[in-house]
Structure 1
Amino acid sequence: MSKKNKKQEVVEPQVEEKEVEDTQENELTAEEKLQEELAKEKDKFMRLFAEFENYKKRTSKERVELFKTAGEEVMQSLLPVLDDFERALTHIEDDKEAEELRKGVLLIYQKLLTTLEQKGLSAIEVNSGDTFDAEDHQAITQIPAPTDDMKGKVIDIVEKGYKLGDKVIRYPKVVVGQ
């Protein structure tokens, strides 16, 4: 019996050691699980934080753009009025009897133009002889060029173009030599 007892004694400590090792492994896996969960939560938090920062930047940029071009619709509706003033001034200049009328119309036109320029409106400069660029001009028609060097160039400006800040709100309408 003593041999059996010895075997039992020997076997029993091995079982106890295995149980201790199993509990340590369970504890390590539980600790590892917690660390993994913590890492996942940190990653989720960082992604959410970055997304929120991007949202703040995007909305502030959109707000700035909105303020820059808030008057765009109003400016576009006033552009035909500017065109009418310019047409009136070219026709009044021919009539010498209407000198006082011309001065009054010119004064109102300059005041309106100054006010709109203070709000960010600027005319796009285009001259006859400039090279036609489809990104900067709107061709309304093509006519035979009076000379060979005027082919592909602006012959006449039918309507001025305007920018509001850096944004083009109306492209200049031009006649192009063919």
Structure 2
Amino acid sequence: MSIKWSVAKIAGAHFKTYWDASKDRPMASDYLTFIGLPLLISVFAGAMTHFDHFHLRDVSKLIGGMGVFTGLLFGLLTNVFTLSLRVRRDEGLDSEHVVVKQVRELFFNIAWAVVVGCALITALVVAAATHSTTSALGSIWTGLLSFLMLHLMFTILMALKRLWYAHEKVAKLPVKQK
């Protein structure tokens, strides 16, 4: 795979945030929350579609909104990058300081959210291009779109938690002496 468009490092960095650093092992609760729960719900949504109880129609209406949302996430990513520079350079914090670690993990999570957002937009475009606005999407499409949307939303909530935590910790940093 070309290094120019590979997202393997972004994925690796993001999923490494699911690890318990103190025990050097993955946290099962994170994998269950961010992968298992969206997968379970998307399988349920696909099954409900298969049994004619749930229908997604005209997903083309979601493309613009998700495109704007992903663009805003990309803007947030650049702001977090600036924040990471600021806490390292301006505050002179060590790379292992709790604030620096949280901002680094926040950066990884938002970068992954941008990747998932792009995947979701691509899936929405393909689904909209291959289905009429009046016909319902099949169970596979329903499951895939549900999974991507839920995984994106859970990742955004995790990023919000990390941003909140970093905000609390930055406020408690000692005042710099001039």
Q: In proportion to residue count, which structure has more strand?
A: 1
Ranked by relative contact order (alpha carbons within 8 Å, sequence separation 6 or more), the top structure is 2
Q: In proportion to residue count, which structure has more helix?
A: 2
Q: Same fold (TM over 0.5)?
A: no
TM-score, length of structure 2 as denominator length: 0.29
TM-score, length of structure 1 as denominator length: 0.29
